[in-house]
Structure 1
């Protein structure tokens, strides 16, 4: 069901839409806060026919702008991701600007009261909306490609990962589903939901082991310490399966 919009909301959508169009044309533009009303509008209220992917933490929808350009809108599941994880992902995405890293255009974190059904009755509840907006990439995977092209894709992934490590960003969930391709078959690393950014001399630990089975480094099974070597193991598995 589409949400009705007031004139004020319509004006907000128009302004934010213009900002988003400009960001698509300017690769140096910083990601900015986007209103939920805009993201609802360009995804047709997160309709099923706009859904382009689903994972353990979010569903991704195709957003279509008035000028025919498209973006990807990632809508987080409320129960599977806490605020700190969301803030960490935004921080990593703002820090990461490279041709082999998916480009983040904006983010949305809104909380407001909504009538929801509970035990057969409607009650007022606080509902949180956490979303990210990215450049739209229509391809994924490198299977079936000739070796020269697969080599170029692997090289691009390595360059993107090297950049992340130089920026002290540990991805922690590098796997084929988090590697997308643009129209020119340039790979871009995505899926920063459990990534961590840290200072040059900082050591970070995690209490919960998360990631994609088969791509998690064995040393992470017995240690809570996070290092860039966790990504290297994942990269090796990705290359073997390419």
Structure 2
């Protein structure tokens, strides 16, 4: 009897495995899993042929943009649902790491100000990430466009600032473990049909223990948005995201890109220009000309002040995202602390070989320079990683 039961049990296991293999081998659109604790759908496994059909074999007409480690395409599923597919470079080791990182992290987080990862595909040599499609693309496509920037009145700009702050607050404080995004910038903030912001591109994100002050790591991110202690020393903490967010606030208010500004040659960056204007009492000069007539002075002054607090050199002086959000809403904070002069990265200075060089300075003097490749800007503003020896 024992032998018979053992044989039957073995046959049953074999049959179940065969059935499972048959199901997984079918060219179905997706395989879904549901989180038993939340009832929410988890990451979906997409079939490569279905993604190719949706994007017309990744046709150039469906190309939405080029990222640091791959290209993003628009796709339309058989039911009419639109998707955005990031096709990671198979030649890039970093692209493979980004794929695993996003699947591991983004599938576990849900927030209205974070882009929704629908699923992924790892078939053959292809590594694909499938996201919800957001019709207004990224913030930089509108904010820095000479005509489209007029669509962003002050109310919409303030709403975008608050939405990004909520998303970062969730990542830093409300997720199971703090998550550092490491690449907060206008091109990584997507806008839905109502111009509501969603933080995207978590390929460089990493978990961070709450009892850690910082970790020493290889530098990855985008020049002009990286905090100085991270860009020059490799010291990473959630305050690095705070710094990047401060830069983005100033970009949203001014309508000028931090790494490509057309200002006086006396200024090496947007941050330096805003700081000088703030210290000289000329905050009005900072405001985008297209919205200046409709901006409440108290609100825009507060946002500029908060942006400068976020971009301070001393990490201990930068506020947490909890404090930042409260200050932006003018909740429980009546008198804001005065910001201390930030470190400026000169983004416009030229050396003898006509390559862009970077130097760091405070508001009063030059304190040093660096030859690290980390501080050379990316030509297409893509995320970059500086690999150091072990």
Query: Alpha-carbon deviation of 1:234?
Result: 0.6
Kept after mapping to 1: 8 A contact 2:114/2:198? yes
Q: Which has the higher strand share?
A: 1
Alignment counterpart, residue 130 of structure 1, candidates 124, 127, 131: 127
Alignment counterpart, residue 81 of structure 2, candidates 62, 65, 69: 69
Whole-Å Cα distance in 1 between the matches of residues 31 and 181 of structure 2? Answer: 32
The answer to which structure, 1 or 2, has the higher relative contact order (CA under 8 A, 6+ apart) is: 1
Whole-Å Cα distance in 1 between the matches of residues 164 and 47 of structure 2? Answer: 32
Give the structure 1 partner of residue 104 of structure 2: 91
Matched, 1:49 2:56: no
Whole-Å Cα distance in 2 between the matches of residues 216 and 137 of structure 1? Answer: 26
Give 5+ residue unaligned stretches, structure 1.
Answer: 1-7, 20-26, 112-127
Matched position secondary structure for 1:95: coil
Alignment counterpart, residue 220 of structure 1, candidates 223, 230, 243: 230
Whole-Å Cα distance in 1 between the matches of residues 209 and 91 of structure 2? Answer: 29
Q: 1:12 to 1:37 in 2, by over 3 A?
A: farther
Whole-Å Cα distance in 2 between the matches of residues 205 and 37 of structure 1? Answer: 42
Matched, 1:148 2:155: yes
Matched, 1:181 2:188: no
Query: Alpha-carbon deviation of 1:237?
Result: 0.7
Deviations 1:35-78 (A, max 9, x none): 22221121111111111111221100011012222000001112
Deviations 1:127-184 (A, max 9, x none): x211100000011324331111110111000000100112211110110010011112
Taking structure 1 as the reference length, the TM-score comes to 0.79
Query: Alpha-carbon deviation of 1:18?
Result: 8.8
Query: Alpha-carbon deviation of 1:201?
Result: 3.6
Give the structure 2 partner of residue 121 of structure 1: none
Matched position secondary structure for 1:148: helix
Whole-Å Cα distance in 2 between the matches of residues 74 and 39 of structure 1? Answer: 11
Highest Rg: 1 or 2?
2
Give the structure 1 partner of residue 118 of structure 2: 105
Q: 1:218 to 1:62 in 2, by over 3 A?
A: same
Matched, 1:29 2:29: no
Q: 1:221 to 1:18 in 2, by over 3 A?
A: closer
Whole-Å Cα distance in 1 between the matches of residues 223 and 188 of structure 2? Answer: 14
Q: 1:97 to 1:225 in 2, by over 3 A?
A: same
Give the structure 2 partner of residue 238 of structure 1: 248
Query: Alpha-carbon deviation of 1:189?
Result: 0.3
Whole-Å Cα distance in 2 between the matches of residues 236 and 64 of structure 1? Answer: 36
Q: Which has the higher helix share?
A: 2
Kept after mapping to 1: 8 A contact 2:69/2:95? no
Whole-Å Cα distance in 1 between the matches of residues 56 and 216 of structure 2? Answer: 40
Give the structure 2 partner of residue 161 of structure 1: 168
Whole-Å Cα distance in 1 between the matches of residues 155 and 216 of structure 2? Answer: 39
Deviations 1:59-114 (A, max 9, x none): 00011012222000001112332533321221221122100000000011223xxx
Matched, 1:206 2:217: yes
Q: Give 4+ residue runs of structure 1 displaced > 6 Å after superposition.
A: none
Whole-Å Cα distance in 1 between the matches of residues 160 and 186 of structure 2? Answer: 11
Whole-Å Cα distance in 1 between the matches of residues 66 and 97 of structure 2? Answer: 21
